[in-house]
Amino acid sequence: MKRIHQSAIAVAAGIAAVGLLASCAGAGAGSGGGNEGDAASGAYTWWDPYPQHEEGSDWANRVEACGDEAGVTIERTAYDTTALTNQALLAGQEGNSPDVILLDNPAVSTLADAGIVSTVDELGLDVSGIDANLLAAGEVDGETYGVPIGANTLALYYNQDVLDAAGVDPTSITDWASLTAALEAITASGSQGITFSGIGTEEGSFQFLPWFWGAGAELTELDSPEAVAALELWKGWLDDGLAPNTVINNSQNTAWEEFLTGGFGFVENGTWQVNAAAEADFPAGVIEIPAEDGGVAPAPTGGEFIIAPVQSDEGRYDVTRQIIECMTTPEGFVETANTFAYYVPPTAEGQEALLEEHADLDTWVSAVQAAKGRTSDNLGTDYPIISEQLWTAVQNGLSGVSTPQAALEEAQANAEADLG
């Protein structure tokens, strides 16, 4: 698809659909911006999407400690995810950006496309140790903008009691055929097979992508035979009673609540439910989402990048780099993972350190290693447009408005028309 360049405000409207899928965020508060007056007073401004972590929280203290290490005071402001992206675009246009922003990874390309983010090379940051599949979410036209502080992704949680009653061994599930056979055995034993989120929002695209990519499809060709196979898989599960019709309107939270009733064998959900799974009324486990013909399907990554907006006073960058480096040491990555419970470090060293503390997260580490950024493949700001057409096709295909083939053909045509 042809890449188009849009104004910062137009891009803000498009990116609003691409929310952070891995965490909850409340209302934002306050404002801030980096300027030369702040530099003179030793204050550096920081924006992030965690208003739920107030002053005095472990997260707020950690940010403050990195300022202390750099010899400055950090003035932190928290917004909800969508407000943060829009505020960052406006601040960039006005030349009043904060020094550091922690931003949902699909929005990084939006700010980069608007020309308001410094590259890692300009900052002198070494990102050679970052997993390439995670770093790719911040790459645009050969340049890298920012550093991922960790990643979350999707897998399949299962109810061990339900699987035992159906005689299903979760380790036997290695591809689509064996998963479908397991769902058939589960429904035959009196339980429900699988639930997931097929809602007509970014969450629907997010949950469909492992099956889409797991079939070998690409976001530049929504109507490929591989893409059709993925939607036919989901539609077949509904038609055969292996998944409930509620998935058409399920959010990820709704699907999780269905799973917690104890009546389902599987649910597709994310790293952020690890603690909730441990507290369920039944023994729960997790397996990676299988690709169509075997192996692990690439699941989309959630999580934030730490970026440095462009400043008129380039003398600020040295301290900014020190703050970012403090947040992205191997120990720092593990501390972030522990603070948020569901973030997997983006480096091999950090992942090893995390597993030393939490060996039970090995499936999630493996899933993150196989994951893929939604804006990877240089899709950048094209992604929100493509994603909307994808979730619309999923809705039309699952509801029976169109066949999977027709739904995806329409999605491809609309995406091409919108991208020009």
Q: What is the mean pLDDT of residues 327-341?
A: 89
Query: Mean pLDDT score of the chain, rounded to an integer?
Result: 90
What fold is seen in the domain 154-299+380-419? D-Maltodextrin-Binding Protein; domain 2 (3.40.190)
Q: How far is residue 272's CA from residue 361's CA, in Å, rounded to a whole number?
A: 12
The answer on pLDDT for 143 being more than 90 is yes
Q: What is the mean pLDDT of residues 218-235?
A: 98
Q: What is the mean pLDDT of residues 393-404?
A: 98
Q: How far is residue 179's CA from residue 334's CA, in Å, rounded to a whole number?
A: 33
Strand partners, 307: 101
Are 8-152+302-370 and 154-299+380-419 the same fold in CATH? yes
Type of residue at 274: V
Per-residue model confidence (pLDDT) at position 299 = 97
Rounded to two decimals, the pTM is: 0.87
The residue that leads in pLDDT, 4 or 20, is 20
Per-residue model confidence (pLDDT) at position 345 = 96
CB burial readout 120-158, b (16+ within 10 A) else e:
beebebebeebbebbbbbbbbeeebbbbbbbbbbbbbbb
Nearest to 162 by CA among 186, 182, 178, 183: 186
Domain boundaries defined on the chain: 8-152+302-370, 154-299+380-419
Q: How far is residue 237's CA from residue 195's CA, in Å, rounded to a whole number?
A: 10
Cβ contacts of 7 within 8 Å, gap of 6 or more: 114
The backbone torsions φ and ψ at residue 118, rounded to the nearest 5 degrees and listed phi first, read -80, 145
Q: How far is residue 409's CA from residue 114's CA, in Å, rounded to a whole number?
A: 31
Alpha helices in 245-340, H assignment, sequence order = 252-260, 274-278, 317-327, 330-340
- By CB neighbour count within 10 A (0-12 exposed, 13-18 middle, 19+ buried), where does 32 fall? buried
Q: How far is residue 111's CA from residue 97's CA, in Å, rounded to a whole number?
A: 11
pLDDT digits (tens, 9 = 90+) for 114-124: 999 999 999 99
Label residue 342 by pLDDT band (50, 70, 90): confident
Cβ contacts of 380 within 8 Å, gap of 6 or more: 3, 109, 110, 112, 113, 140
Determine the CATH number of domain 8-152+302-370: 3.40.190.10
Query: Do the beta carbons of residue 108 and residue 376 sit within 8 Å?
Result: no
pLDDT digits (tens, 9 = 90+) for 243-270: 999 999 999 999 999 999 999 999 999 9
Taking each continuous run of H as one helix and of E as one strand, the counts in the chain are 19, 11
Label residue 339 by pLDDT band (50, 70, 90): confident
pLDDT digits (tens, 9 = 90+) for 147-196: 999 999 999 999 999 999 999 999 999 999 999 999 999 999 999 999 99
Per-residue model confidence (pLDDT) at position 13 = 40
The answer on pLDDT for 70 being more than 60 is yes
Per-residue model confidence (pLDDT) at position 83 = 92
Q: How far is residue 420's CA from residue 416's CA, in Å, rounded to a whole number?
A: 6
The backbone torsions φ and ψ at residue 300, rounded to the nearest 5 degrees and listed phi first, read -70, 150
Per-residue model confidence (pLDDT) at position 12 = 41
Per-residue model confidence (pLDDT) at position 137 = 94
Q: How far is residue 229's CA from residue 227's CA, in Å, rounded to a whole number?
A: 5
Per-residue model confidence (pLDDT) at position 341 = 76
Q: How far is residue 306's CA from residue 123's CA, in Å, rounded to a whole number?
A: 12
pLDDT digits (tens, 9 = 90+) for 9-38: 343 444 444 443 333 333 333 334 444 444
Query: Do the beta carbons of residue 22 and residue 152 sit within 8 Å?
Result: yes
